[in-house]
Structure 1
C-alpha cells in the first residue's frame, strides 16, 4: 500500500488497512445448507517496517475490489518457503590473533535476528556465560508458548517470537504440533548457533571434529523469529518475522531461505524487505506535515519535537558562533545553495559549522529538485537535505507559530523515487578515446549508493569530529559498482542462451536498453541537469527482462574483430599483443564492425558515410521487421532495404558542426510489435 495517501482521519496504518477491508463486505456461503451471510475479511498481519502493506485471505471478487481502492500498489499470492544452508567459521578464516574477531571484540552486543525455524534454548550454545547486560536499545521480548516460557531467554538468547497466522490462514483446521518458538526441525538452532553461539568446549560429532564450538560472532546477542514450521511455511509469516525484527531493534538479520528461482524481485518478500535504492530521513513538522528528505547520518537516532529555527539574518550555516547564538539545541534551516555554487563545498562547509556549534541538527536546502546530493558520501552530524519544493513549506511553518517544532527520524529507506535513473557526475562519457568509430558507452547500469559486502576493519563512516565507524556492508558509488550489474545480467543471459556469443549477449543488452527514466522522459545527466545523449548513456539503462528476448542480435566473430584491428594502423607487435597470433588475414580491413550502435565522424571533405550490418533473428519463428528512424538534426538517414536481415545505413551530413554533435536512433520493429531493437545514432566532427 502507498502509505503516503493514508487519510489523516486514521490514527495508524493498521486502522487504515482494517477500515479498507471493512468496506469489502461480501456475501459468501460455506455449504449449500448454510444461509447467506455477510463476512468481512480480517487482516492476518500488517507490515510497517519491512514493507507497507498487509496480508489477508480474500475471495477473487474482493481482490478485484481492493485493487481499485486508494493507496493500492500491488499484490501477490502467499507462497511456500524453501530452506537454504549455512557455512562454518573455519571457512571464513576467523582467528583470535588478527582480523575481524579481535577488531570487533567478537561481535560484542551486536543483536542478530535469526528468521528461521526457532531455537532449542537448552543448548549450551545459548548459555550466557561471559555476557554483559542486555543492550538498553533492545525492544523485543521472549514470547511464551508450548514448551517454552520467558525464563528460557537470557543475556545471550535475548528474544524469541513465533509467527504462523499465514500458515493457519492457508489451512484453517491445521493443528500446530509445537506452537511456540521452540525448534523441532533443527535448522533454526543450527543457523543461530552458527551465527552467534557461545563457546562450548569438548564438542564433537561422535568423536569427529573434536574441539570448541562457537559462532561467527560468539559475543553477539541472538533473537529468534520462528517462521518455518513442520506443517509448512509461508511468505506472509516470513515478512511478519522480518518486520518484527526490525521493530525490535536487531542490528543484523540472518535469513537462510528463499522463495524459488522463478520468483521475480517484486514478488520476493526477502528482496522487498531488504532492498535499498536510497537512504532518506523523515522530517515531521509540528503541524503534522511529513517531508521525505535525504540523509546518510549513520546513527539510528530520533530527534523528537526539537525547536525549529529559521532566522533570515543567519544567511548561511557557515558560522558556528552565529548558529550557537540563534539556534542553540534547535534544528536550524540553512540557506539554500544557488545553482552555480559548488554543492559539495557548500555542504561540507556548513556541515563543519553545524558540528562546531551547539545546534541539535540542520535542514539543508538544495535549490534544484534533482539527485546531485545523493552522491554525497558522509553526514558527520545530524542533518537532512530537502528540495526547493519543500523549502517553502518548512519555512512557512517555522514562521507561522511562536514555538515551531520538528521531528527527524534517521535510518529509513524508501524506494521508487523519481526521476530515476540519472547519469551520475562520475560516469564515463563518450566518445571512445581509443577508437572513436565505435560509439561508447554501450549502456548504463546502477552505480550510485550501491549496498554490498565490505571489509569490517576499514573505515566506512565518521560521526562527529573523529569517531570512526566500520561495517560489514558499505554503500559506495562509481563505475566499478555499475560494472557488476552489467556482468550479472550477462551471466544470466549466458545461462538462458548458452549458444549466444559474447557479442550476441552485448547486442541483446544494448538493443533492449531504455533511454527513458521512470517518468517516461529522457534520462537526465546530473552533470548539467540536461537530457542525456548517447555519449552519456549509450543505448540507455540496462533492462534485463527485455534482453532475454531481444528478437534480433548483432553478432561479431573473431575475424570481424581482426578486420577492425587491421584497419587501425597498428604495428605488428601491437597487433600480435592483442590477437596473440599472426594468422589473421588483413586483406580486408574494415572499421565497420557489426555493432548495434552508430557514430558517424565527418571531416570537411566527407558528407556521406555508410554502415553495413547483419541482424540475426533469435525470436520464435519467422518475423518481418521494419525500420523506424529518428533523424539526427540536420542529417539524412536512410536504411536499405527497409526490411531485414542484411542492410545498409547511409548517413548524409548537411553541415559542419564546429565541435558539437547531434543524435537520433533507428529501431527495428517486428510486425506484431513484440520486439523493438533500438540503435542510437551520433553524428559529429572527426
Structure 2
C-alpha cells in the first residue's frame, strides 16, 4: 500500500497547529500523593496511579510514561507528561503536589541540607519547592544574569494574583525578567531628595551584591559547580527554589532612606506578593514612627507575612531596635560547615585549622619560625622574620587582632603563617588575604612543642578544605554579632522569634565587586560570595515561609509564623542546648524559639492563630495617643477591646522598676487550633523559669476534629527581682501518639526602665 506523503504532511501540520506545542511538550515530574486517599476499588497504589495517568491522557499523545513508583521514602511516582496533563492530574483525588525533576548534588550553601530539606520527602515535595508563591525582596536590587535567577525548570507563567511589572530601568531591560524574576522595580526619589548632588541611577540592578545574595538565599534556582574560590564546592540552591521573586531596590550603595523603603513595601503589597523579606536595619524609633512597623502592619492586614533581620549589634542584650510584634524577627546562627587548611608538621602530625585563603598556595615543607619572644606578628617583628618561612603568630600577645596581623603579613616576606587565636569573629568573615591557618591555643602548643624540639622544623599547608558535620564545633551556635532582645520598640513580645543559618552563607553576588583579596593589591571577584549576618538568616525564614504558604495556601501569616516557631529546635546537632559561639548556653533573647526546622513546621500539630483585629487590640493597649495609634492601624479599626495578651506562641513577663521586691502573678490566655490529622488529645509539660511557679489549665486539650480550637491559660508567679535579669522556661504540648511537640518559650525579664 502506498501513502500520499503530501496529504500526510498536511495532516501532521494541522495537528501541530491544533495541539499547543508548549502544552504537549513532555517533561519529567515527581508527583506526591496522599496514599490513604486511594479508592478501595484498587488492589494497589500502582494500579491507582496508572488509572489516574490514563484518565488525564490528552490524545493523540501517548499515555504518560510512569517511571518509578515510590512507597518508602514518600508516596507517589515520577512520570513523563505534558503541562496540560499535569494540570488535569492536579484535580485528581489524593493529589498533594508536583515539581519538575532536577539533578540533586551536594549542597554549596549547605543550608538546605543542614535544614534537612530533601527532594524525597518533607516540605520540599509537599510544597512543590515553593512553586506558585511570590517572595518580595526589599534590598539593593538584583544581578539578573546570575545563574541562580534562571527560570530553568520553572513551569508556567507568573501566578494569576501577580499584578506587578518588570520595570528595571537603566541597564535592566524587561527581557531580563523571566519566570523566576517576575518583577523588578526601583525606589530612589527619597534618597535623591535627601542629597540632590548624588548620582543615584534609575535601575533595579544590584550595586552592592547584598540584594542578589539575599534573593538567591530565599529562592535561588539550582546551580551546579559553584564555590567560593574552591571552598564549599557543590550546587547552590535557595530554600524555596521554585518560588518566584519580585525585587524592589530601595537601598543604594548599601544605604537608603525611610521614604524609599516605605514606598517599596507599599508597592510589594499592591503587586500581590505572598512573603516580604527585609534584611536591613532601622533606627531605634517608636512603632508608630517606624516605616518598617507601619508598612509591615499593612502587609499583615493583606495576608502577607513579613520577615526581618534582627540586626548585627550583638552580643549585648537590648540590641534589637525593631521589636515589631507583627513581623518575624530572625537571629543568625552557624551551620555545620568548616573551611579548613590542613597543617602537616614535619613529624607527620596533622592539625586542622581555619582558613578561607582564596587560592591553592604552594606551602610544602617550608621552615617554621617559632620564637616565644616574637609571637605577636607585629609589622616590626615581621620585618625581621626570615624570608620564605612559616611564622607562628599569637594574636593574644599584645592584643594584636586578626586584621592587624593579616595587614602586617601582607607587607612581609614570609611564605605563610600559623595564627593562634581564639577570636570567634574570625569564623564569620571570608577575608583571609595571606596564606595561613588559624588554630586554637591547644593546637598551638602542639606546634610549639614540635618547633622547639626539632633542629629544623618544617610544615606544609593544604588549602580549600571543606569539612561538614559536628566537628570541630557543634552547630548551630548563635553568632556573637546577632542582635539580642528584648526589642527596644516593644518588650512585651519575645524577639527575636527564631534563628536561622546566617554565618558564611554562599549565595549569588555582584560579579564586578571585590569578594576576596590576596596581599595588598590583588582584588578577586566571584559570582558567589560567602557573607555573614542576620541579613543572611532572614531570607532562610522567608524561603521557609514560602514553602509553608505553598503547602498550606489557606493558612494565615500568624499560623505560618506559629508553625515555624513552635517546631523550632532549641538543641544543636549534638542534642545539647544551642550555645553562644563562646560556649555559653544561648537564651531565647538570642535564639527566640530555637533553630528553624521547615520539615516539622509542615505539620506542626497545633498553631496559635491571630487575626488583624487581635493585632489592633495589641496596638490599642500600648498607651499611644489616638493619632499615634491610628498611624499604625488607620481609621479602619476602633480600640473597643485593647489587650496586650496577643495570641502569640511565646510568653513574656516583665519586671518594672516600680515592682521590684514584690511577688507578682501574671496570667496569659492562649488559643490553639488543631491542624493535625483529625481528632487528637494533647497533654502539657511546663518548664518553669528559675524562682518561678507556672501552672497551665487545663492540662489536657481534646480536639474532636481538624481545625477545632481550644483555649488554655498559663499563670506564673514570680518574685520581682533583677538578680537574674532574664529567666527562661517553656510550655510544651505533646499529643498522645508522640508525633507532635508544640513548644513555646517563657521569659521573665527585667524591663528597660530598670536600667534608665
- The alignment's TM-score, normalised by the length of structure 1, stands at 0.58
Aligned counterpart in structure 2 of residue 577 of structure 1, from 619, 623, 631: 631
d(CA) in 2 for partners of 1:447 and 1:496? 25
d(CA) in 1 for partners of 2:482 and 2:349? 36
User: What does residue 349 of structure 2 align with?
Assistant: 289
User: What does residue 454 of structure 2 align with?
Assistant: 401
User: What does residue 486 of structure 1 align with?
Assistant: 541
User: Quick one: structure 1 residues 253 and 440, their matched pair in 2 at CA, closer, same or farther if it must change by over 3 Å?
Assistant: closer
User: Quick one: structure 1 residues 100 and 362, their matched pair in 2 at CA, closer, same or farther if it must change by over 3 Å?
Assistant: same
- Consecutive unaligned residues of structure 2, counting only runs of 5 or more, are 1-104, 108-118, 121-141, 147-223, 243-334, 702-709, 752-756
**TM-fit CA distance, 1:612:** 0.2
SS at match of 2:493: coil
Contact 2:429 2:531 in 1 (8 A): no
User: What does residue 633 of structure 1 align with?
Assistant: 690
Contact 2:655 2:720 in 1 (8 A): no
Paired residues for 1:411-422 under 5 Å: 411-416=464-469, 417=471, 418-422=473-477
d(CA) in 2 for partners of 1:385 and 1:562? 52
User: What does residue 742 of structure 2 align with?
Assistant: 677
User: Quick one: structure 1 residues 591 and 425, their matched pair in 2 at CA, closer, same or farther if it must change by over 3 Å?
Assistant: same
d(CA) in 1 for partners of 2:437 and 2:342? 8
d(CA) in 2 for partners of 1:250 and 1:335? 25
User: What does residue 199 of structure 1 align with?
Assistant: none
After superposition, the CA RMSD in angstroms is 3.6
d(CA) in 2 for partners of 1:50 and 1:650? 48
User: What does residue 480 of structure 2 align with?
Assistant: 425
Aligned counterpart in structure 1 of residue 509 of structure 2, from 451, 454, 465: 454
**TM-fit CA distance, 1:293:** 1.2
d(CA) in 1 for partners of 2:740 and 2:441? 41
User: What does residue 410 of structure 2 align with?
Assistant: 355
User: Quick one: structure 1 residues 649 and 522, their matched pair in 2 at CA, closer, same or farther if it must change by over 3 Å?
Assistant: same
The higher relative CO (CA closer than 8 Å, separation ≥ 6) is in 2
User: What does residue 12 of structure 2 align with?
Assistant: none
**TM-fit CA distance, 1:290:** 2.1
**TM-fit CA distance, 1:357:** 2.0
In the alignment, is residue 566 of structure 1 matched against residue 625 of structure 2?
A: no
User: What does residue 323 of structure 1 align with?
Assistant: 382
SS at match of 1:624: strand
SS at match of 1:445: strand
Contact 2:345 2:460 in 1 (8 A): yes
**TM-fit CA distance, 1:658:** 5.1
CA deviation map 1:199-238 (0-9, x unaligned): xxxxxxxxxxxxxxxxxxxxxxxxxxxxxxxxxxxxxxxx
d(CA) in 1 for partners of 2:234 and 2:427? 26
d(CA) in 2 for partners of 1:389 and 1:614? 52
User: What does residue 359 of structure 2 align with?
Assistant: 299
SS at match of 1:459: coil
In the alignment, is residue 475 of structure 1 matched against residue 530 of structure 2?
A: yes
Aligned counterpart in structure 2 of residue 587 of structure 1, from 640, 650, 653: 640
Contact 1:100 1:457 in 2 (8 A): no
CA deviation map 1:544-574 (0-9, x unaligned): 1111111111001111111111111233333
d(CA) in 2 for partners of 1:444 and 1:468? 33
Aligned counterpart in structure 2 of residue 390 of structure 1, from 443, 461, 465: 443
In the alignment, is residue 334 of structure 1 matched against residue 393 of structure 2?
A: yes
User: Quick one: structure 1 residues 100 and 506, their matched pair in 2 at CA, closer, same or farther if it must change by over 3 Å?
Assistant: closer
User: What does residue 85 of structure 1 align with?
Assistant: none
**TM-fit CA distance, 1:335:** 1.9
Contact 2:695 2:715 in 1 (8 A): yes
**TM-fit CA distance, 1:394:** 2.0
Contact 2:231 2:465 in 1 (8 A): no
SS at match of 2:573: coil
d(CA) in 1 for partners of 2:559 and 2:513? 40
User: What does residue 539 of structure 1 align with?
Assistant: 593
User: What does residue 308 of structure 1 align with?
Assistant: 368
d(CA) in 2 for partners of 1:633 and 1:253? 46
d(CA) in 2 for partners of 1:469 and 1:685? 48
CA deviation map 1:260-317 (0-9, x unaligned): 99xxxxxxxxxxxxx9944222212222222221112112223111112212121311
d(CA) in 2 for partners of 1:315 and 1:331? 12
d(CA) in 2 for partners of 1:432 and 1:276? 29
SS at match of 2:515: strand
Contact 1:522 1:532 in 2 (8 A): yes
d(CA) in 1 for partners of 2:532 and 2:690? 35
Kindly name which structure, 1 or 2, has the bigger radius of gyration based on alpha carbons: 1
CA deviation map 1:586-618 (0-9, x unaligned): 221101001000110133156011100011111
**TM-fit CA distance, 1:676:** 0.5
SS at match of 2:555: coil
d(CA) in 2 for partners of 1:288 and 1:593? 62
Contact 2:232 2:466 in 1 (8 A): no
